[in-house]
Each structure stands twice: as structure tokens, then as C-alpha cells.
Amino acid sequence: DAGVTQSPTHLIKTRGQQVTLRCSPKSGHDTVSWYQQALGQGPQFIFQYYEEEERQRGNFPDRFSGHQFPNYSSELNVNALLLGDSALYLCASSFRNTIYFGEGSWLTVV
């Protein structure tokens, strides 16, 4: 049984560009959340998707957007990248209070 899978694992972007990160949840999990983990900090909640709708959003600007597909997979999009967006982006899938994280996507903005 595959766990939460994310792609790409590493990427480098230039300020002002746009990026799309992808996540496939653990089998049987219908809820996907995204977190940002800056270096030396704990993860911060970005938003959560359930039944293809954004169910809750953390304190992140509108530059951060997402989508969930009918197969429960999800994308995180970040527009107009800033240097401060450099971080590890973690996807989590959950089902009935069990929450599992993927290995993350390392984004470096230069």
C-alpha cells in the first residue's frame, strides 16, 4: 500500500514565476491538506481539500491556491513566487483522524 506520494521532490524557481506541486493521498484517504515548513520551523497549515472543495484555509495569501481531483489527488499552486516561499511543502492525507504526511517537495526560489 503506497503512502502519500508527492512530486517533484526538489525544484528551483525564479522570483515571480509560478509553481505546481502534486500529491497523491494514501489509498482510502479522501481528505488532503497542504503545509509549508520553513527551515528550522514547524509545519504551517495552508489549506485542506475534501470532495474537491477547499474546506479550510490557513493564513496564507491568495497567491497560494489548490485543487482536488475526483480521485482525491491534489495540486498546490503558488503564483508570483517570493524568496520567502522557499520551504518544504508537505502534503497530508487523512481518514477518520489518522493523518499521514508525504516526503515533501523542496522548493527553492532564487
Residue 16 Cβ vs another protein, minimum distance, rounded to whole Å:
27
* Closest by Cα among 74, 76, 40, 45 to 60: 45
Judged by beta carbon, residue 19 or residue 90, the one nearer another protein is 90
Note whether 14 binds another protein by CB under 8 A.
no
Bridge partner list, 58: none
* String of DSSP letters for 52-83: TEEEEE-S--TTEEEEE-TTS-EEEEE-S--G
Q: Which of residues 54-93 bind another protein (CB under 8 A)?
A: 55-56, 58, 88, 90, 92
Note whether 104 binds another protein by CB under 8 A.
yes
Bridge partner list, 45: 35
Per-residue binding letters, 26-45, with another protein (x by CB under 8 A):
-------x-x-----xxxxx
